A and B are shown apart, each in its own frame.
Chain A
Amino acid sequence: MIQNKKLRTLTSGLLAGGVLVLSITFLLSPKQDFSENENRYLAKFPSFVWEDVKSGQYMEELSSWLSDHFPLRNFFMGLKADTEIALGKKEINNVYIAEDDYLIEVYETPANTDRIADTFHKFYEKTDTSKVDTRLMLVPTANYILANKLPANAPVISQMDTLKTIYDKSGIPAIDCSAYLTQAAASGQIYYYTDHHWTTYGAYQGYLAYCETKGLVPVSLEDMKAQTVTDEFHGTIYSKVNDYSHKADSITIYTNPADSLTVNYTDTEEITDSLYNLDYIGQKDKYSLFLNNLHTLIEITNETAESDRELVLIKDSYANSMVPFLAHHYKKIYVFDTRYYKHGPSSFIEDHPSVTDVLLLYNMNTLDTDSGIRGIY
């Protein structure tokens, strides 16, 4: 449509120039190893192996290397997301662009419900119910609790069907926190806008549900010290959408002045007195500040706990922000990450007769793909 000859030359020049500028920038710029935003290692320049050339693997790796290190990668990813949102897209990369600035992950049809229920059931059968009080808490995610914020007509699969099936089949006494969450959602923020976790306020609702079923008196939030440690948290869902203009989250942490804690990260042999590692505030993955990210087994001792009871916590990362509330009630809490813990918490409970309580806590969104569940007994 460009009939003016000079403009035609100019356009071709701009396009050809654009291609060359980008490719030359690519060649000259230093290459990063790791993308914080995408939370993954970027492709490395492949080494030349004849076998790989013959199979085509070498060319594939070279292609990924070229795409991964492309200049202005973040700018281009943001450009795509912003364009799609402007064109009316309400679902990008399995994330709903929901109302009130929420990014909410699609809940996909679960594939492992029976296996998971069965694993829980086997675990429960192995514990001596006369000595240990075991509970299972499955936390519904924003996809269910904030369903009224999802875009209109979004096709939603119910988490609650899966949740009920697992509660029934596992046989473990259940703790249903959805009523607390729904109620609190009306007035406060219980999930992060940009991350798949619940906020500490959401975790507190889970804690209230826990206390209710266990007959504990919950510590009120007013008696705890609140501290907003960051307001620049761009969580995991944010990285899936790459809409860089989207607003950031803040993280508030609570500490109970009445507790005197010793936190022992047994795998790295670190001992501290805090349930938080604020070094993570400077990093992309800020949620890791709760319980210092991933550890095989964490031993938390509270000298001033209200009882001598000991809790084994088998969980995913949702529990990390609930532990600060639970800590008040237990002399010891053993926190397991069963993806890395080799022997299974089941045998641990057998070997430690002082354990009185067990809580299994998982969120519904990642439950189906949680690779640690196989390792719980």
Chain B
Amino acid sequence: MVFSSIPFLFFFLPLCLILYYAVPFSLKNGILLVFSLIFYAWGEPVYILLMLFATLVDYTNGLLMERFGNTKAKRTFFLCCSVVVNLSVLAFFKYADFFIININGLLGTDIPPLGLGLPVGISFFTFQTMSYIIDLYRGEVETEHNYFTYLTYVSMFPQLVAGPIVRFQHINAELHHRTLCRSECEAGLLRFMQGLFKKVLIANQVGALWEELRTIEASQISVTMAWIGAACFTLQLYFDFSAYSDMAIGMGHMLGFHFNENFNYPLSSVSVTDFWRRWHISLSTWFRDYVYIPLGGNRRGVVKQLRNMAVVWFLTGLWHGAAWNFVLWGVYYGILLALEKFVWGKGLAKLPKFMQHLYAILIVVFGFVIFTFDDMGALTTYLSSMFGAAGNPSFGTEVFWYLGNYGVILLVACVLAFPVYPWLKAKLSTAGKSTTTTVSVISMLGFVALFLLATAYLVNDTYNPFLYFRF
């Protein structure tokens, strides 16, 4: 089930919330768990067993670590058991075919691919449960004794399929005791709605243009249009993914949980380093805390630091998908980050601000072109039209056509990709009471109008894809 759909928005979520609010606290986790399992099973009726298995492994190893882990060696043993099982499951379901195809290509063998469907959210929940066992090993979190509480944490539907990657230590306390207050629920509802609007009214619309453009023959599209297309995909991905995080965080509030922010206006970055502090924060901090720092981080000399960066960015790329373009995309960022750190980072900071923005956005847009084509042939084709190497003109009248059709929505998307909203909020905090009230009334009407519009788009539902299903 996806959040931005009629079944979820009008039936699943209201029913879940009504029951959740109606029962006493002792039953709230139970309600949440049952609904989360239904949510998962809705799209993946069979793979739900896989998720139950993965959580059971970590839960059991946690218990064993507590009961028998009196020496470091034993603790390490249980940690390894858990991590090996988790990574094996992930490797098998996500990467087996990629591996087989590459082996076949390399050795000329003819091993048939397994053709397994990718279990929804496997990359997210594997990282979540691994964070628990690693933190437990480090003594940063207490052992969870109740399997159902642990399963509730992993399977919790707001963040199950598309993040943010919530760590056990962040919500451990709230899993056992949380307070629900009306103003937080209201804030959560509004945050959820904002996410819904972003997804349905912006991401899907910009994405529709990208779908039209990505399939046009390389020679038939002008250089200008090819870059607009790449910008479209960047905007689609940002609004789609951050909308899911908004909706997750919003629903978390409605349920009494506080998840960390996952995006902080990444498209307004001034450098690549800045971008990765703002994009998919829960993933980059995960790699930082569980891979980069354990490898020694930057404290063991430049050579080791470069090696550590290489490992982290290779893995970051691979995490995003079982194809070489994702690896390439990760390596691309690894190299650029190293260059910023050791070569031009200081010089960059001295440039005028708009130059820094331009530098960052070009790298990001170009990067997402690598990201979106998992077929290397299609990638080279599209890149060739971006640089006029396909014999295509630099400009064509189709630009007017597409901008006429999508210009307004693209403009809105570009503006909202920058922190306009917080800026206005800050302005308002110093404004007089009458201004605040006027803005509040306008916002209220805006919410209602956009809600009707989003519903209209959902009812039509001709175009409602879910980009992060593959992760």
- With A18-B451, A87-B409 known as contacts, the answer to whether A3 contacts B440 (CB < 8 A) is yes
A326-354 contacts to B (CB < 8 Å): none
Instruction: State whether A79 touches B14 (Cβ < 8 A).
Output: no
- Residue A224 at the chain B interface, CB threshold 8 Å: no
Q: Which residues of A lie under 8 Å from residue B398 when comparing CB positions? A: 153, 155
- With A18-B451, A87-B408 known as contacts, the answer to whether A63 contacts B6 (CB < 8 A) is yes
Instruction: State whether A77 touches B460 (Cβ < 8 A).
Output: yes
A106-141 contacts to B (CB < 8 Å): none
Count how many chain A residues have C-beta atoms less than 8 Å from C-beta atoms of the other chain. 47
Q: Which chain B residue has the least Cβ–Cβ distance from A65? A: B7
Q: Which chain A residue has the least Cβ–Cβ distance from B2? A: A63
- Residue A40 at the chain B interface, CB threshold 8 Å: no
Instruction: State whether B453 touches A19 (Cβ < 8 A).
Output: no
* Segment with Cβ contacts to A, from B106-114, B185-193, B347-355: B185-193
In the bound assembly, the distance between CA atoms of A23 and B397 in angstroms comes to 45
Instruction: State whether B45 touches A88 (Cβ < 8 A).
Output: no
Instruction: State whether B455 touches A62 (Cβ < 8 A).
Output: no
Q: Which chain A residue has the least Cβ–Cβ distance from B192? A: A15
In the bound assembly, the distance between CA atoms of A23 and B462 in angstroms comes to 21
In the bound assembly, the distance between CA atoms of A76 and B448 in angstroms comes to 14
Instruction: State whether A11 touches B437 (Cβ < 8 A).
Output: no
* Segment with Cβ contacts to B, from A53-61, A188-196, A264-272, A276-284: A53-61
Q: Which residues of A lie under 8 Å from residue B183 when comparing CB positions? A: 5, 8
- Residue A147 at the chain B interface, CB threshold 8 Å: no
In the bound assembly, the distance between CA atoms of A18 and B441 in angstroms comes to 18
Minimum Cβ distance to chain B for residue A315 (Å):
31
- With A1-B425, A1-B443, A151-B404 known as contacts, the answer to whether A80 contacts B457 (CB < 8 A) is yes
Residues 1-26 of chain A, each 1 if its beta carbon lies under 8 Å from chain B, else 0: 11111011111101110111011001
Instruction: State whether B461 touches A153 (Cβ < 8 A).
Output: no
Instruction: State whether B447 touches A53 (Cβ < 8 A).
Output: no
- With A5-B183, A87-B409, A88-B408 known as contacts, the answer to whether A56 contacts B44 (CB < 8 A) is yes
- With A4-B436, A153-B397 known as contacts, the answer to whether A88 contacts B421 (CB < 8 A) is no
- Residue A90 at the chain B interface, CB threshold 8 Å: yes
Q: Which chain A residue has the least Cβ–Cβ distance from B461? A: A67
Minimum Cβ distance to chain A for residue B414 (Å):
15
Instruction: State whether A76 touches B455 (Cβ < 8 A).
Output: yes
In the bound assembly, the distance between CA atoms of A11 and B185 in angstroms comes to 12
Instruction: State whether B407 touches A73 (Cβ < 8 A).
Output: no
Instruction: State whether A19 touches B9 (Cβ < 8 A).
Output: yes
Instruction: State whether A153 touches B444 (Cβ < 8 A).
Output: no
Q: Which chain A residue has the least Cβ–Cβ distance from B424? A: A1
In the bound assembly, the distance between CA atoms of A296 and B437 in angstroms comes to 68
A138-154 contacts to B (CB < 8 Å): 151-154
Q: Which residues of B lie under 8 Å from residue A180 when comparing CB positions? A: none
Instruction: State whether B46 touches A54 (Cβ < 8 A).
Output: yes
State the majority secondary structure of interface residues on B. Answer: helix
- Residue A91 at the chain B interface, CB threshold 8 Å: yes
Instruction: State whether A11 touches B444 (Cβ < 8 A).
Output: yes
- With A8-B186, A19-B10, A55-B45 known as contacts, the answer to whether A76 contacts B459 (CB < 8 A) is yes
B7, B44, B187: most-surrounded residue (chain A CB, <10 A) = B7
The one of A4, A9, A91, A155 in contact with B186, judged by C-beta atoms closer than 8 angstroms, is A9
Q: Which residues of A lie under 8 Å from residue B7 when comparing CB positions? A: 62-63, 66-67
Q: Which residues of A lie under 8 Å from residue B397 when comparing CB positions? A: 153
- Residue A89 at the chain B interface, CB threshold 8 Å: yes
Minimum Cβ distance to chain B for residue A332 (Å):
46
Instruction: State whether A4 touches B447 (Cβ < 8 A).
Output: no
Minimum Cβ distance to chain A for residue B6 (Å):
5
B9, B401, B459: most-surrounded residue (chain A CB, <10 A) = B459
State the majority secondary structure of interface residues on A. Answer: helix
Instruction: State whether B404 touches A90 (Cβ < 8 A).
Output: yes
Q: Which residues of B lie under 8 Å from residue A39 when comparing CB positions? A: none
In the bound assembly, the distance between CA atoms of A334 and B461 in angstroms comes to 43
Q: Which residues of B lie under 8 Å from residue A307 when comparing CB positions? A: none
Instruction: State whether A88 touches B407 (Cβ < 8 A).
Output: yes
- With A77-B459, A152-B400 known as contacts, the answer to whether A56 contacts B43 (CB < 8 A) is yes
Q: Which residues of B lie under 8 Å from residue A23 when comparing CB positions? A: 10-11, 14
Count how many chain B residues have C-beta atoms less than 8 Å from C-beta atoms of the other chain. 57
Minimum Cβ distance to chain A for residue B80 (Å):
35
Q: Which residues of A lie under 8 Å from residue B425 when comparing CB positions? A: 1
Instruction: State whether B440 touches A14 (Cβ < 8 A).
Output: no
Q: Which residues of A lie under 8 Å from residue B461 when comparing CB positions? A: 67
In the bound assembly, the distance between CA atoms of A8 and B455 in angstroms comes to 21
- Residue B149 at the chain A interface, CB threshold 8 Å: no
- Residue B339 at the chain A interface, CB threshold 8 Å: no
Q: Which residues of A lie under 8 Å from residue B45 when comparing CB positions? A: 53-56, 59
Q: Which residues of B lie under 8 Å from residue A62 when comparing CB positions? A: 7
- Residue B42 at the chain A interface, CB threshold 8 Å: yes
The one of A9, A11, A19 in contact with B443, judged by C-beta atoms closer than 8 angstroms, is A11
- Residue A83 at the chain B interface, CB threshold 8 Å: yes
Instruction: State whether B444 touches A10 (Cβ < 8 A).
Output: yes
The one of B6, B13, B409, B448 in contact with A66, judged by C-beta atoms closer than 8 angstroms, is B6
Q: Which chain A residue has the least Cβ–Cβ distance from B441? A: A7
Q: Which residues of A lie under 8 Å from residue B11 when comparing CB positions? A: 23, 66
- With A76-B460, A89-B405, A153-B397 known as contacts, the answer to whether A18 contacts B189 (CB < 8 A) is no
Q: Which residues of A lie under 8 Å from residue B193 when comparing CB positions? A: 15
- Residue B5 at the chain A interface, CB threshold 8 Å: yes
Q: Which residues of A lie under 8 Å from residue B452 when comparing CB positions? A: 18, 76, 79
Instruction: State whether A83 touches B448 (Cβ < 8 A).
Output: no
- Residue B389 at the chain A interface, CB threshold 8 Å: no
Q: Which chain A residue has the least Cβ–Cβ distance from B38? A: A59
Q: Which residues of A lie under 8 Å from residue B429 when comparing CB positions? A: 3
Q: Which chain B residue has the least Cβ–Cβ distance from A77? A: B460
Minimum Cβ distance to chain A for residue B320 (Å):
25
- Residue B439 at the chain A interface, CB threshold 8 Å: yes
Minimum Cβ distance to chain B for residue A215 (Å):
45
- With A15-B448, A66-B10 known as contacts, the answer to whether A77 contacts B190 (CB < 8 A) is no
Q: Which residues of A lie under 8 Å from residue B13 when comparing CB positions? A: 19
A15, A16, A67, A155: most-surrounded residue (chain B CB, <10 A) = A15
- Residue B428 at the chain A interface, CB threshold 8 Å: yes
Instruction: State whether A12 touches B404 (Cβ < 8 A).
Output: no
In the bound assembly, the distance between CA atoms of A88 and B401 in angstroms comes to 10
- With A1-B428, A76-B456 known as contacts, the answer to whether A15 contacts B404 (CB < 8 A) is no
Instruction: State whether B428 touches A3 (Cβ < 8 A).
Output: yes
Q: Which residues of B lie under 8 Å from residue A152 when comparing CB positions? A: 400-401, 404
Minimum Cβ distance to chain A for residue B102 (Å):
30
- Residue A244 at the chain B interface, CB threshold 8 Å: no
Give the top 5 A-B pairs by smallest Cβ distance, nearest first: A153-B401, A76-B456, A12-B186, A4-B440, A79-B456
New A-B contacts (6) at CB < 8 Å, excluding given A56-B42, A80-B453, A89-B405: A3-B429, A8-B440, A63-B5, A76-B459, A152-B400, A153-B398
Show 18 residue pairs from A and B whose CB-CB distance is below 8 angstroms, ordered by the A residue.
Answer: A2-B190, A4-B437, A7-B441, A8-B440, A11-B448, A12-B190, A16-B14, A23-B11, A54-B46, A56-B44, A66-B6, A87-B408, A88-B405, A90-B404, A91-B405, A152-B400, A152-B401, A153-B398
